[in-house]
Amino acid sequence: MPDTILGHCWNCGGALTAADYGREASCRACDKPTRCCRNCAHYAPGLANACREPMVERVLDKTRANFCELFEPTSPNDAGNGCTDPDQLRSAADDLFK
Chain segment 10-68, per-residue pLDDT in tens: 999 999 998 999 888 999 999 999 999 999 999 999 998 999 999 889 999 999 999 99
In a domain, 88, yes or no: no
3-state SS assignment for residue 8: strand
Question: Which range of residues forms the domain containing residue 54?
Answer: 1-75
In a domain, 63, yes or no: yes
Domain count, the chain: 1
In a domain, 81, yes or no: no
In a domain, 36, yes or no: yes
Closest CA to 9 of 85, 28, 23: 28
Q: Is the pTM of the predicted complex or chain greater than 0.85?
A: no
How far is CA 92 from its chain centroid? 23
**Residue 80: is its pLDDT beyond 50?**
no
In a domain, 97, yes or no: no
